[in-house]
Structure 1
Amino acid sequence: MKPFDFIEMKVPAKSEYVGVIRLSTSGIANRMGFTYEDIEDLKVAISEAMSNAAAHAYDDSEEGEVTVGFGVYEDRLEVMVADHGGSFDLTKVKQGIGPYEQTESIENLREGGFGLFLIDALMDKVEIKNDYGVIVLMTKYLHMNENEVGLDDDQISTTQ
């Protein structure tokens, strides 16, 4: 497996910080070459996971934080959103995580299950770990658009 870059951010578990993560997601995904539609899907899915953590992970009296990790690979972006968590050890998290099944009782994870259905619909792969708090690992694969590749080749041949 090729090496990957890992970016980690911690923000207060407050809804007003969702926009910060959305902007970061957009910048990372754009740099990787994702399409506009895929970037929008990523932003919506990550916003849902962030909003869920901000709304349900902590009591009103707690000053919690949400950790967001971006695993930037050549062919995909893996995004982890965790509440009640410290820094990620990506290998350990991935060993203990399981796939999200739509047959699971959403109440076992947290209120507001619609967000998880939406995340599952927008992402290529969703895995959840809920030992202590919740970690949502979302994967979006980078699909090269063959038409765009062909267009570049045509442009090169006509300009030579």
Structure 2
Amino acid sequence: MEKFDFIEMKVPAKAEYVGVVRLSISGVANRMGFSYEDIEDIKVAISEAITNAVTHAYDEEEGEVTLGFGVYEDRLEIMVADHGGSFKLKEVKDDIGPYETTESVENLREGGFGLFLIDTLMDKVQINNNSGVIVLMTKYLNEIEVGLDDNQISTRQ
């Protein structure tokens, strides 16, 4: 099985904690060696996912947003869940599907989602909305530059 570090955070479902999570993920991505541009993209994507959870998951009741960061050698996987509890990473990944841009956003969560933006900024986005919504976002660390005489500019590892 592939080795990775797993970091889990829980924050109150309040807008003022978005910055705390952005700082945390920025530190993790920086340590992994992501470029400034990639770190900015990751921060925007995670902000969108948390903001959605804060806005739509809980009405007046106090809630939590649970975040999981899977730190691999070649990629960073980020899970944002709008219900409490801890992640069992394998179970989440076995029960999650790809985000299809053809899906009606309203089917995922009333009021819409920053999913289109997240999908643009990240390399892979998957959704599970069986009990609450879990968004799994992946950003790969390395892009391999291909020679100019080849018709491909770059490829993912």
TM-score (norm 1): 0.87
In 2, the alpha carbon distance for the partners of 1:83 and 1:114 equals 13
Q: Deviations over 1:61-119 (max 9, x none)?
A: x1100000000000000000001131000000000000000000110111443511000
Please give the alpha-carbon distance, in whole angstroms, between the structure 2 residues aligned to 1:121 and 1:30. 21
Q: Given the alignment of the two structures, is residue 11 of structure 1 paired with residue 11 of structure 2, yes or no?
A: yes
**Aligned runs of 1:1-150 on 2, under 5 Å?**
1-60=1-60, 62-113=61-112, 115-143=114-142
Aligned-pair CA distance for 1:17:
0.3
CA contact (8 A) 2:123 2:138 kept: yes
CA contact under 8 A between 1:85 and 1:133: conserved in structure 2? no
Looking at CA atoms only, which structure, 1 or 2, has the larger radius of gyration? 1
Matched position secondary structure for 2:81: strand
Could you list the runs of 5+ residues in structure 1 that have no partner in the other structure?
A: 147-160
Structure 1 residues 12, 114: CA separation in 2 closer, same or farther (over 3 Å shift)?
Answer: closer
The answer as to whether partners of 2:63 and 2:84 remain within 8 angstroms in 1 is no
Assess if the C-alpha contact under 8 Å between 1:128 and 1:136 holds in 2: yes
Secondary structure of the residue aligned to 2:20 is helix
Distance in structure 1 (CA, Å) of the matches to 2:113 and 2:79: 18
Number of residues of Structure 1 aligned to a counterpart in Structure 2: 145
Deviations 1:134-160 (A, max 9, x none): 0000000001576xxxxxxxxxxxxxx
Q: For residues 110 and 36 of structure 2, what CA distance do their matches in structure 1 show?
A: 30
2:13–2:64 Cα contact (<8 Å) kept: yes
Identical residues among aligned pairs (%): 79
Aligned-residue Cα RMSD (Å) equals: 1.3
| Structure 2: segments with no counterpart, 5+ residues | 146-157
Q: Please identify which structure carries the higher helix content.
A: 1
Q: Write the distance in 1 (CA, Å) between the matches of 2:134 and 2:113.
A: 17
Runs (4 or more) in structure 1 with deviation over 2 Å come to: 111-114
Is the alpha carbon distance of 1:119 and 1:59 closer, same or farther for their aligned partners in structure 2, counting shifts above 3 Å? same
Matched with 2:154 is none
